[in-house]
């Protein structure tokens, strides 16, 4: 069982930011010349801290566009079902926080209210299910959140139409609209990004570049899975930290037991505990003060195409529910 030890606010989360383009700043030079004199600002502190990178529980909250499979329903992660129990178990396992979602198809206020009081949650506003009115949905989410909350506007904007039902351009535009709408409200959440970084080809940075350049992003999220990995995680973390100069978090990682691609790429990893140890070693090797490690998904996932067929063995290696 993993136990995190708390030591107050993460005071080390003070980084120089990525400078938005067009504000007397050539951001192309920023990436190639780290010695540039860039003004410092204080990034908001996250509400957890630990001697090692804290673990967060990630709850699947998407709805698949091709078959209508709502993962909140198939996992029972609902306020009137097992949501409270899931949080209780995750806290017993020692997590420092969670990542969850506020679908426009569900009662947003009820979902926020089902999280334990004072327990930090990063809320996805859109997760593979575009709301018909993104701005109105953003306002409803912001109104339901307590002050000082964290959010992700759109999950994985780069994954494309086949998975999310949206092109990368449309998903990124939607995230920008959501964050801009939230910024007009009295107490908006702090926004993080969340996108796959399995290699370092320039195209993987496109969506995050646009989102960070808006000035609304306070943390950059890295999704990294072994069955897709090309570049070692420590190089990915270092590249992302150097490029954006914002706090970095692993917003998704996990081990899908039995996937040949994962076992082929990482023959030393036998199971989910081994993958957790590997990720921790890569974080240490990177030298990046990673703000959190979100095990995703926390619950073994119902098969996407046929949830009645069974569950994929990819959830937390300890007790899940």
Task: List Cβ neighbours of 233 (8 Å cut-off, separation of 6 or more).
Answer: 224, 279, 282, 283, 286
- Other Cβ atoms within 10 Å of 161 Cβ, number: 12
pLDDT band at 13 (very low <50, low <70, confident <90, very high): very low
The confidence score (pLDDT) of residue 12 equals: 26
The confidence score (pLDDT) of residue 8 equals: 28
Contact 122, 141 (CB under 8 A): no
Contact 161, 203 (CB under 8 A): no
Most confident range (mean pLDDT) of 26-40, 46-60, 164-178 is 164-178
Domain boundaries, the chain: 47-312
pLDDT tens digits, 46-72:
555 555 899 999 999 999 988 889 999
The confidence score (pLDDT) of residue 15 equals: 28
Mean pLDDT of 197-222: 97
The confidence score (pLDDT) of residue 164 equals: 77
Instruction: Give me 225's structure tokens.
Output: 């899975």
Percent of the chain, pLDDT > 70? 84
pLDDT exceeds 80 at position 178: yes
Mean pLDDT of 72-85: 97
Strand 301-302 to 195-196 pairing: unpaired
Task: List Cβ neighbours of 99 (8 Å cut-off, separation of 6 or more).
Answer: 56, 57, 58, 59, 121, 122, 123, 124, 152, 251, 294, 296
Instruction: Give me 259's structure tokens.
Output: 């996937």
pLDDT exceeds 70 at position 31: no
Mean pLDDT of 299-308: 89
Dist. CA 12–CA 113, nearest whole Å: 30
pLDDT tens digits, 15-27:
233 333 322 222 2
47-312 CATH = 3.20.20.80
DSSP calls for 190-222: EEE--EE-SS--GGGGHHHHHHHHTT-EEEEEE
Mean pLDDT of 234-263: 97
pLDDT exceeds 80 at position 305: yes
Mean pLDDT of 106-118: 96
pLDDT tens digits, 281-290:
999 999 999 9
The confidence score (pLDDT) of residue 27 equals: 20
**For the chain, what is the mean pLDDT?**
86
Q: ∠ CA 240-218-190 to the nearest 5 degrees?
A: 145
């Amino acid at each position: 069982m993993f136990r995190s030890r708390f030591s107050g606010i993460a005071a080390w989360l003070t980084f120089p930011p990525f400078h938005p383009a067009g504000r007397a700043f050539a951001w192309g030079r920023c990436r190639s010349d780290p010695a540039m004199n860039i003004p410092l600002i204080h990034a908001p502190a996250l509400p957890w801290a630990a001697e090692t990178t804290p673990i967060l529980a990630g709850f699947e909250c998407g709805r698949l566009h091709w078959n209508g499979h709502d993962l909140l329903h198939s996992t029972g992660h609902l306020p009137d079902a097992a949501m409270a129990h899931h949080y209780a178990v995750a806290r017993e396992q020692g997590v420092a926080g969670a990542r969850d979602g506020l679908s426009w198809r569900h009662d947003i206020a009820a979902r926020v209210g089902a999280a334990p009081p004072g327990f930090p949650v990063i809320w996805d506003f859109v997760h593979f299910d575009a709301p018909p009115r993104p701005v109105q949905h953003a306002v409803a989410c912001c109104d339901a959140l307590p002050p000082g909350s964290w959010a992700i506007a759109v999950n994985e904007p780069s994954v494309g139409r086949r998975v999310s039902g949206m092109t990368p351009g449309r998903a990124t535009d939607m995230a920008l609209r959501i964050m801009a709408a939230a910024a007009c409200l009295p107490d908006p959440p702090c926004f993080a990004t969340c996108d796959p970084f399995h290699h370092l080809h320039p195209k993987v940075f496109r969506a995050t570049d646009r989102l960070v350049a808006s000035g609304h992003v306070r943390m950059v999220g890295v999704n990294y899975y072994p069955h897709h990995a090309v570049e070692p995680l420590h190089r990915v973390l270092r590249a992302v930290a150097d490029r954006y100069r914002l706090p970095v978090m692993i917003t998704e990682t996990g081990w899908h037991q039995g996937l040949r691609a994962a076992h082929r790429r990482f023959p030393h990893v036998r199971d989910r505990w081994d993958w957790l140890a590997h990720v921790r070693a890569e974080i240490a090797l990177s030298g990046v003060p990673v703000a959190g490690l979100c095990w995703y998904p926390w619950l073994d996932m119902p098969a996407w195409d046929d949830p009645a067929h069974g569950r994929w063995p990819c959830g937390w290696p300890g007790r899940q529910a």
